[in-house]
Amino acid sequence: MSNISTSSNSVVDQEQLFTDLTPEEGSVIEGGATLWLYSATAIQANADFGSRNGDDVYARINGYKTNKTNDVDAGEAVTFNIDRYFSGTASINFFDSDGGLFTGSDEYLGGFTVGSTPTNGTVTTRISGSGSIYDVVYAVYA
């Protein structure tokens, strides 16, 4: 027969289990995750057709806008090294911020969506749009 304690010390100990969680442990309980966006390497940087300048890349993660980088040419990498907590899914989209020569608005370079299932390390995915191609490195941690 087991003994069940109802003392206040036992209740406090149980509450400690849920208040001393790391953000990662809390994400698992809440069903959320953290996206780490590491980098994007330009395979082809031609969003500005006819321009001598490379792409001015920024990303949007569920609406959050990263800083842009200037003049990314083929073979060069953009380093983001940012993390964003999300619940459910995260939408990651990349843009060339200079507006382009003909469109007058930011050009879409491609994007993808991730769920909260951990990736068990980094993942590289290829995106393309507006004449540019990038290999994006990211990870999802629960």
What pLDDT score was predicted for residue 104?
63
Mean pLDDT, range 9-25, rounded to an integer: 56
CATH number at residue 116: 2.60.40.150
Is 26 a residue whose pLDDT tops 80?
no
Per-residue pLDDT reduced to its tens digit, 28-60: 556 799 999 999 999 999 987 666 678 999 999
C-alpha span between 56 and 53 (Å, rounded): 9
pLDDT of residue 98: 73
Q: Is residue 133 part of a domain?
A: yes
Domain contains 37 = yes
Per-residue pLDDT averaged across 101-125, rounded?
Answer: 90
Domain assignment present for residue 13? The answer is no
Confidence (pLDDT) at 121: 97
pLDDT at residue 99 tops 80? no
Share of the chain above pLDDT 90, in %: 62
Q: Name the DSSP letter for residue 67.
A: P
> What's the domain count of the chain?
1
1 assigned to some structural domain: no
| Neighbour tally for 86: CB within 10 Å | 19
Q: What is the mean pLDDT of the segment spanning 81-108?
A: 86
In a domain, 88, yes or no: yes
Q: How confident is the model at residue 1 (pLDDT cuts 50, 70, 90)?
A: low
Instruction: Tell me which residue range forms the domain holding 32.
Output: 23-141
The pTM score is 0.76
Which residues, 6+ apart, have CB-to-CB distance to 110 below 8 Å? 93, 94, 127, 128, 129, 132, 133, 134
Tell which wins on pLDDT, 17 or 107: 107
